[in-house]
Chains A and B, each alone.
Chain A
C-alpha cells in the first residue's frame, strides 16, 4: 500500500518568513495530493491540492509543487502570519481505483513567531 513520509515534524519561523514542508510517497500510481491545515480543536481543512498532471499550483501565499519522478511534493507558505500556526498534513490518493482513501503523513506543527 501507499506510504507517505512528511518532514519536518515541527517548524518555527519568524512572521514574514517562508515555510516549506516536504512529503514523499511510495506508490507511483498516486495522482492526487491534497494539503490540510488543522487548528486546535478543529477538523482538517483543505487548503490546496494538486493533481499529477501539473507540477505547481498557487493560491495567494500558498503554493504546492510536485515532482512525480522523485515522488515528492512540497507546501510553500510565503509571508507567514501568526494565523498560519497550525498542524499541516499532506496526503496522497490514487484516483480511478474505485476507492478514494487518503494516506496521510504524520503532520507538521508550524509555529509562526510574531
Chain B
C-alpha cells in the first residue's frame, strides 16, 4: 500500500510569490490533515479535511493560506503571497483506513519551503 505522498519535496521562492503544495493521502483515507513545523518549533496543526469538507481549520495562520480538497482525494495548500515567516516544513497526514482508528495519522515526507 502506498503511503502519503507530497509534492514538491523542496521549494525555494521569493517573498511575495505564490506556492502550491500537493498531498496525496493513502488510498481510502477520508481524513486528510496539514501540519507545519517552523524552524526550531514543534509541529503545529493547520487544518483537517473529512472527504472534501473542512472539518477544522482553526490552525490556519491567516488568509494567505488556502487549502482545498476537490473530490475528496488529493489536497492542495496554496500560500499567496508568501512571507519570510512561512518558511518551514509542511507535512500532510491521512487517517481512516481499516487498520487503526480514525485518529491514527500517517505522515508524508513533507515539503520544505524556503521563502527568501
Contact residues of A: prevailing secondary structure: loop
A101 near B104 (CB under 8 angstroms)?
no
Q: Contact string, B28-70, partner A, CB cutoff 8 A, digits 1/0?
A: 0001010100000111110010000001101100000000000
In whole angstroms, what is the CA distance A93 to B33 when docked? 13
Min CB distance, B20 to chain A, in Å? 19
One of A13-21, A59-67, A70-78, A104-112 at the interface: A104-112
Q: A residues engaging B (CB < 8 A)?
A: 4, 32, 34, 36, 41-46, 49, 89, 93, 95, 98-107
Contact of B107 among A4, A43, A95 (CB under 8 A): A43
B33 near A100 (CB under 8 angstroms)?
yes
Given A34-B104, A98-B56: A104 and B44 interface contact (C-beta under 8 Å): yes
B105 near A45 (CB under 8 angstroms)?
no
Residues from chain A with Cβ under 8 Å of B4 in the complex: 43
Residues from chain B with Cβ under 8 Å of A107 in the complex: 42
